[in-house]
Chain A
Amino acid sequence: MKELDVRGLSCPMPLMHTKKAIDGDPAEILVLADSGTAKANVVALLQDSGYTVTIAEDASEYRITGVRR
């Protein structure tokens, strides 16, 4: 599984990194994010790119998992 850590990065880095990662067409991808904006952007990008997304959330971060549909 492709893993990506975009915690603490300003816009548009979370989106850029995720875009780059899915250009490699991984079957499964995990993105760690820590802001609501990054989460929303990454989730929308993954969904539009053909991934089914699940989000786990704890006090400090979002674990966004995308599985290729």
Chain B
Amino acid sequence: MSQGNPGNMGLCIACFLRDITGFFVGGSTNQAAVAYIRPEIVGIILGALAAALVTREFRPRGGSQPVVRFVLGFIFMVGALIFLGCTVRAWLRLGGGDLSALWGIAGIVAGVIIGVVFLKRGFNLGRAKAVARPLGWLLPAVAVVLLVFALVSAYGAKPGWATVTPENARAVVPGQVVVAPDGDGLKVLKPADGNGDPTASIVDGAVVADDGTVLADAGKVAATKPMPGGKRAALWVSLIAGLAIGVVAQRSRFCSIGGIRDAILVRRYDLLFGVIGLLIGATVVNLMLGQYVVGFEGQPVAHNDALGSFAAMTVATFAAVLLGGCPFRQVIMGAEGDADSFVAVVGMLVGAGATHFYNLASSPLGLAENAWPALGVMAAILVAVALAGSRKTA
């Protein structure tokens, strides 16, 4: 994050997958602010793939209720975007001093406890089996395709249908007035005519339309922060960091929900140490970089709706427990040849598009209008899945 990525996002799987969705369909899902192929994701997949190949842990497998896994991935993502972060970022937000993350972490604990109740009742999605080798290569293949698109967009010409949030672009009036840095000053990206040429300009720091109307005064422009999708580290830095993280995660089996789950369920604390290590590491790094700001209000890409954060993370975590691992784990397992995890990741990508299409995602201002009904519906689906999915396996 010190390299330019959004505040306290560092490594948010939900956010990064959402940005990738934004690249492909952002034009039709109101995702202009969050559209960028995050090279971290590509790196993580390829790093985990390499580690799995070297240790002979790459094993194509699948067939354990893929449709249900798609739905669970979808629900996870919607919940995460209502909280504004996945189960990994909740810890990173706390590591940045963002105390509003505590509501989400309380939700993680609640989601795990609910999930454990169903696991104890015998919930599982059934056994995966060995599958044809190509099915194991689905997620790595997607990573390569993403890398090609990322490189083409960065160094060549971005495809016309794709959306990329301009680097460090700031939505002064979301969807209507957007500016981006230009040398020492600013330039207008929106409003623009059909050819993409701006129809307004910067006059003394304010955005003024060609007909003389002041669209946003200088104070408003100055107070606007860059959109999440436009904040990024250099492509190669992100990619190499992702590769390293992928290797470490594959070897350590890091899981952001497994720690609490295993501690409660089987009194195993290995994974919990991973999460605690992440929290301590993030705190130390943020302190060293002078980015550590304690408080509930005004935290980067976060809101302070306690009940909303709690409920959204409870729903997301419950879904993740039913999936058998957090979204980070799903990405890693997909890279190890798990076709079911690939399907869950696709569910997350589609879920991200749907969240933005239906305006369910939260903003720093708070929850969206329909967030609560959506959480209610998703909670009901999860309970139904959990009740239906109990079977004997031993």
Task: Give the B-binding residues of A (Cβ under 8 A).
Answer: 4-13, 15-17, 19-20, 34-37, 40-41, 44-45, 57, 60
Bound: A65/B333 CA distance, A? 25
Q: Is the CB of B393 within 8 A of A9?
A: yes
Those of B106-124 within 8 Å (CB) of chain A: 119, 124
CB-CB nearest in chain A for B69: A10
Name the distance in Å between B388's Cβ and chain A's nearest Cβ.
16
CB-CB nearest in chain A for B338: A35
Q: Is the CB of A11 within 8 A of B129?
A: no
Q: Is the CB of B393 within 8 A of A36?
A: no
* Chain A residues whose CB sits within 8 angstroms of the CB of B262 once the complex forms: 12, 15
Q: Is the CB of A11 within 8 A of B325?
A: yes
CB within 8 A of B129: which of A6, A8, A17?
A8
Count of inter-chain pairs, beta carbons less than 8 A: 73
Residue B59 CB within 8 A of the other chain: yes
* Chain B residues whose CB sits within 8 angstroms of the CB of A5 once the complex forms: 394
Q: Is the CB of A8 within 8 A of B57?
A: no
CB within 8 A of B258: which of A7, A12, A60?
A12
A12 with B394: in contact, given A35-B57, A36-B55 (CB under 8 Å)? no
CB within 8 A of B336: which of A7, A13, A35?
A35
Name 26 interchain pairs, CB-CB below 8 A, sorted by A.
A5-B394, A8-B64, A8-B126, A8-B128, A9-B124, A10-B64, A10-B124, A10-B125, A10-B323, A10-B325, A11-B329, A12-B262, A12-B266, A13-B324, A15-B266, A15-B268, A17-B393, A34-B61, A35-B59, A35-B338, A36-B55, A36-B336, A41-B253, A41-B268, A44-B268, A45-B268
Residue B380 CB within 8 A of the other chain: no
Bound: A24/B203 CA distance, A? 78
Those of B238-273 within 8 Å (CB) of chain A: 253, 255, 258, 261-262, 265-266, 268, 270
CB within 8 A of B253: which of A8, A40, A57?
A40
